[in-house]
Amino acid sequence: MDLVVTVIQATLGVAALLAVIRAVRGPNLADRIVALDLVLLLLAGGIAAEGARTGQATFLPVVVAVALVATAGSLLVARFIEWRDTP
Partner 1 sequence: MTPVAVLGTVLMGAGTVFSLLAAWGILDFPSPLARMHAATKSASLGLALLAIGAGAAAESWALTGVGFLVAVFMFVTAPITGHMVGRAAYLAGQVDTLVHDDLAGVDSEPLRIGRPERSVRRPLRWAALVLIWMILWRDLAFGTLIGGMLVATLIEGLRKSFADDTKASLAGLVIFLVRYAGMVVVSNLRVAWEVITPRNERIREAIVAVPLQVGSLNAALLVANAVSFTPGSLAVELTEEPTTLYVHVLHFSTVDEVRETVRSLERLAARVYPDRTGEAVGNG
Which residues contact partner 1 by CB under 8 A? 1, 4, 8, 11-12, 14-19, 21-22, 28, 30-31, 33-35, 37-38, 41-42, 44-45, 48-57, 60-61, 63-64, 67-68, 71, 74-75, 77-79, 81-82, 84-86
Decide if 5 contacts 53 (C-beta within 8 A).
Answer: yes
Nearest distance from C-beta of residue 36 to partner 1, angstroms: 10
Q: How far is CA 52 from CA 12, 17, 45, 55, 71, in A?
A: 15, 23, 11, 5, 24
28 — alpha (psi -120 to 50), left (phi > 0) or beta? beta
Nearest distance from C-beta of residue 6 to partner 1, angstroms: 12
Nearest distance from C-beta of residue 30 to partner 1, angstroms: 4
